[in-house]
Amino acid sequence: MTQYTGDLAKMVVGVNDAHVAQYTLPIGEHKVAMNELIGRSISLTNHAKITCVGCGSATNKSFSQGFCYSCLRALAQCDECIMKPEKCHYAQGTCREPQWGEAHCFNTHFVYLANTGQSKVGITRQVEGRVSSRWLDQGASQAIVLYRVSNRLLSGLVETACKSFISDKTNWRTMLKGQPEPVDLFILKQEMMTSIAPQITALREQYGLLAVQDVEHESVDIHYPVTQYPEKVVSINLEKTPSFTGTLLGIKGQYWLLDDNRVINIRKYTGYQATLSVNN
């Protein structure tokens, strides 16, 4: 048996040439290639110790995927405007960390459509090699870029306009139940852009023509290393079930898919000290 012990972190994910998601789990000093473990028996044990990813202090409870309460209240990356960028308040002089905001929010963002079991709109900061890690984290099987915008506030305003046409939500249970039916995202994109044209024109008149730019982008197909999807979804909570063993049947989004229809969202336990055991 091989064991890895340390603080859990969000899985690092990219794609190979066939656009199949490739996962690496950071756990302490280790980097575990998770695709290689599919089909094998694994165990995960929670040691009931949590380290804040913001300040490095011990905390009894994790907020916003890895932060202590003090960091939740103090850090710009934990502010409401991160989840709702249309509420950016930098211009009002009330940003929690102006330098952080300037580095992370005043740069190019992309608004996109994705198929995660249902069509949705979303925002990402990077589209490298035509595939964004944001799409992979959401378990999207298809995605297409709509607009390039000049900053995070504008990305939120454009997304708000898009939400009059389509949802921005991912139903994670639906996403985990199987490969969704393909959607013609190019047609959907054209329909939506026609529908929200007045709102986009108003934003360009207010912020400038280059602030919101149309993007020519072909729909991307993404595949996940899953040998069997659950018939129903039974979520594992490491607080209530501090240790479990099972066969890893696949990975999608930030979820491990195990036998007996069990799934676990690894990202939720960022900062938790744990031991991953792999049967050789």
Average pLDDT of the segment spanning 141-153: 96
Between CA 206 and CA 203 the distance in angstroms is: 5
For the stretch 231-251, pLDDT in tens is: 999 999 999 999 999 999 999
Q: How much of the chain, in percent, has pLDDT values that exceed 90?
A: 93
Contact yes or no for 277/30 (Cβ under 8 A): no
Between CA 165 and CA 192 the distance in angstroms is: 6
Between CA 160 and CA 116 the distance in angstroms is: 19
Contact yes or no for 27/276 (Cβ under 8 A): yes
User: How many CB atoms sit inside 10 A of residue 73's CB?
Assistant: 12
Between CA 149 and CA 215 the distance in angstroms is: 10
State the pLDDT confidence band at 264, using cuts at 50, 70 and 90: very high
Average pLDDT of the segment spanning 9-19: 95
How are the residues of the chain apportioned to helix, strand and coil, as percentages rounded to the nearest 5? 30, 35, 35
| pLDDT score of 128 more than 90 | no
Q: What is the pLDDT of residue 217?
A: 86
The answer for residues whose C-beta is within 8 angstroms of residue 100's C-beta and 6 or more apart is 75, 76, 77
Contact yes or no for 181/92 (Cβ under 8 A): no
State the pLDDT confidence band at 161, using cuts at 50, 70 and 90: very high
Both structure tokens of 83: 């989840």
Which residue is it, tokens 């994790």? Answer: 62
Q: What is the pLDDT of residue 127?
A: 83
For the stretch 16-63, pLDDT in tens is: 999 999 999 999 999 999 999 999 999 999 999 999 999 999 999 999
